[in-house]
Structures are given as C-alpha cells and as structure tokens.
Amino acid sequence: MTEPLASASRILAIETSCDETSAAVVDNGTTILSNVIASQIDLHAQYGGVFPEVASRQHVEVIYPVVEQAMREAFIGFDDVDCIAVTRGPGLVGSLLVGMNMAKGLAVARNKPLLGINHIEGHISSVWLTEEASDIEFPVVTLVVSGGHTELYLVLDHGRYQHLGGTLDDAAGEAFDKVGRLLGLPFPGGPAIDAAAEGGNPLAFKFPRAMMQRKHGYNFSFSGLKTAVMRQSKQYSRPEHLPVRDLAASFQAAVVEMLVTKTARAAEDYGATAVHLTGGVSANRALRAAMVEAVDLPVRVPPPLLCTDNAAMIASAAHWHFINGRRDTLAMDVFPSLQLV
Ligand code: KG4
Ligand code: ZN
C-alpha cells in the first residue's frame, strides 16, 4: 500500500550555496517559524568579492550552531519535522557540499525524507513567504535578479516554470558589485550603490542600455554597461575627483531600465496576473519603484531579508515537492550548474 500524500508540511531547510549559512523551519511553504542567516559578508569584504575556499571553511564552522539555532527559535524538536530540504545547486561546489552533507547526516540520523532544491526555485518561492501569498494566481512573471543570476521566468504553477530569458554575460548583482568596487564603495556594491545613488543625478551620464529591441527577446547583457562606467571613471585623474553619486545613480538607472523594460514586456506578452521580483538585487529601491510605475499589475517583492539568500525560501520551494510525493535519495549529489528548466 502506498502512503497517502501529505497535505501539510513542516520542513527544516539548509542553504549554503554561496556566502550565507542559513537554516530555517517553515510550515506549509508559507509560515516561517525560524530563519537563521549567518552572513559572511564581512569576511569577504577584504577580498572585494566572495572567496570560494574561505566560504566553504566558514560554512563548516557555523553550520551546526546555525541549524541548532533554527530548531531552538522554532521551539520544536526533530520529531516535529517532516522533511529535511537542502540547496543542491546552482552555487559554489565547496559551499553546497557543506549543506548537503549536513542535510544527509540529519536525514539518516533522524530518519527523515530528504529533498534537494534548486536555489533559483527557492528565490522564485520566496514570494510565498509573504503575507499576500494566498492571493497569488498564475501565471506570474518572476524576475530572479541576484549576484549570480538574472533570469526571467513565467511561473505557470508551483513547480512549473518556463524560462523566458536571462543574462548573456554578467548577472545584474555582479555588475553592481564590480561597479561598486570601481567607485571605491564597500562590498557588496549593490546596497552601497543603492545608497550612493540617492543623492546623485541619474541623467548625469548616458550609459548604454543593451539588447532593448524585441529581436533580443527577454535576454539581458550588463558587461557593456560595466565597461562604459569603467571608461567614464578613467576620465578623472584622482579617485577623490570621481563623481561617485552621479556615476552610481546613472549606472543604477541603466540597470533598472533594462530589467524593468524586459520584465514589463514579458508580463504583457504572457498575460501575467502579477510581477514578482526576487533575489538580492530586488532589494534595490529604484528597481522596486520603477517596476511599480511600469506595470499595471500587482508587483510583489519579499522583504529584503527574504530577497537575499536564506533557507526559508528553500523550505518554501520544498513544500510543493513534498506534498506532491517527491523524495530524493541519499545518493543525491550537489550540482553546481543545476538548471531549473
Ligand atoms: O540573492 P543574493 O543574496 O545572492 C546570490 O544568489 O547571488 O544576492 C546578492 C546580490 C549582490 O550582488 C548584492 O550586491 C545585490 O544582491 N544586492 C543589491 C542590493 N542589495 C543586495 N543590489 C542592488 N541594490 C540593493 N539594494
Ligand atoms: Zn541567491
């Protein structure tokens, strides 16, 4: 006799794909009981970017206390957990392995089912952790825009995605981080540029907007923009002469225009009921404001803590797989270049 499908879930999830060590307990993919995030940003700031070997060592250091804290803050024991979920990819191989081994160890020791989750599906699912989740009707156009990814999806249902387009070179967050370094701003560049741009003139420099015509579909390119900012910065003989605020505001305006134009076009073309912004860059205030302005649809953006990497979003994605009966085996391995569709 096969077991009846579960309709509810309490999932302990682990996320270690990049530079955040996170563990969370989430009920039914929507209600967060705990979401502990140990960020390594300070550790990597001295290198101006994420140093993979340092990242994996730090995950090893903190993974146990982070999982323990997530369980403690949720006020539950392992008997109350239905499933262990873990990010399988995409991400840094050494970092992913730390989370995967921890999850497998827990699944064996506590005799729990195991689910390996795609990190991008986690970002897409982060919207279901917000208060409006019960209102969501499909299809939805979701922009996943982070340090590692800039991808546009049509979400037809939970677990059913159509890839519409994505970046052909740098991710938008990567461009923010590189330009931030160029302007002498602290790492990560995204929040620093967001803040610096506030006092700047977005029209001060006319930076290029790439691939805007329809023939380029829903793809993006940010490397030309990055080069244009670099070229402009070289016009100043001393770093202290750089018009940092104007450069930041003009760069940000170009990124925002590219992201908003393609996302709004996709929403119209596919008759979306809403636009969702997810991933670290969706914490950007100018992007949020411009998207709301551009589309005549609800624009849902999770709070900043759920935009950047966190385990609650992995638990949310895992819920829909869990109630549909999916179970992974202990033979599952990490997959650094895992694709969603
Ligand atoms: O989702 P995330 O935590 O990690 C990846 O999966 O990549 O995203 C991190 C990225 C970084 O590139 C960071 O600079 C960017 O998100 N970011 C922002 C803002 N906050 C974080 N970019 C623009 N504006 C922000 N306010
Ligand atoms: Zn991410």
Distance 177 CA to ligand 2 centre (A): 14
Q: State if residue 283 touches ligand 1 by the CB under 6 angstroms criterion.
A: yes
Closest atom, ligand 1, to C-alpha of 149: 7
The fold of the 10-126+307-323 domain, in CATH, is Nucleotidyltransferase; domain 5 (3.30.420)
Share of the chain above pLDDT 90, in %: 86
pLDDT of residue 48: 72
Average model confidence (pLDDT) across the chain? 94
Report the first-to-last Cα separation within the chain, whole angstroms: 33
Residue 279 CA to ligand 1 centre (angstroms): 7
Pairing of strands 20-27, 10-15: antiparallel
Mean pLDDT of all residues in 11-23? 95
pLDDT in tens, 75-116: 999 999 999 999 999 999 999 999 999 999 999 999 999 999
Q: Which of the four pLDDT bands, split at 50, 70 and 90, describes residue 171?
A: very high
DSSP-derived secondary structure for 70-110: HHHHHT--GGG--EEEEEEESS-HHHHHHHHHHHHHHHHHH
121 lines ligand 1 (CB under 6 A): no
Share above pLDDT 70 across residues of the chain, in percent, rounded to a whole number: 99
CA of 257 to the centre of ligand 1 (A): 17
Give the pLDDT of residue 46.
Answer: 73
Q: Provide the pairing of β-strand 31-39 with 20-27.
A: antiparallel
User: Above 60 in pLDDT, residue 262?
Assistant: yes
Tens digit of pLDDT for each residue in 279-297?
A: 999 999 999 999 999 999 9
With beta carbons less than 8 A apart as the criterion, state whether 85 and 23 touch: no
Q: For position 2, what pLDDT does the model report?
A: 59
Residue 263 pLDDT:
98
pLDDT at 170: 95
Tell me the average pLDDT across 158-178.
96
Helices 189-197, 285-294: axis angle to 10 degrees equals: 70
Beta-carbon contacts of 339 under 8 Å, excluding residues fewer than 6 positions away, are: 90
Residue to substitute in 127, 146, 252 for testing ligand 1 pocket (most ligand atoms within 8 angstroms of CB):
146
Return the sign of the alpha-carbon dihedral for residues 174, 179, 181, 187: negative
Intervals of CATH 3.30.420.40 along the chain: 10-126+307-323, 137-301
Distance CA 208, CA 55 (A): 34
CB-CB neighbours of 3 under 10 Å: 6
**What is the mean pLDDT of the segment spanning 319-323?**
97
Which residues, 6+ apart, have CB-to-CB distance to 260 below 8 Å? 287, 290, 291, 294
Contact 133, 117 (CB under 8 A): no
Per-residue pLDDT at 52: 82
How many Cβ atoms are within 10 Å of 289's Cβ, its own excluded?
13
Cβ contacts of residue 108 below 8 Å, gap of 6+? Answer: 330
Is 258 in contact with 209 (CB distance < 8 Å)? Answer: yes
Confidence check: pLDDT of 221 > 90: yes
Atom index in ligand 1 nearest the CA of residue 176 equals: 14
Ligand 1 atom, smallest distance to 119 CA: 6
pLDDT of residue 3 exceeding 70, the answer is: no
Question: Which pLDDT score is estimated for 10?
Answer: 98
pLDDT value of position 88:
98
| Mean local confidence (pLDDT), 231-238 | 91
Per CATH, domain 137-301 is 3.30.420.40? yes
What does the pLDDT look like over 19-77, one tens digit per residue? 889 999 999 999 999 999 998 777 777 777 777 877 789 888 999 999 999 999 999 99
Matching residue, tokens 């827990």: 106
Q: Does residue 1 register a pLDDT over 70?
A: no
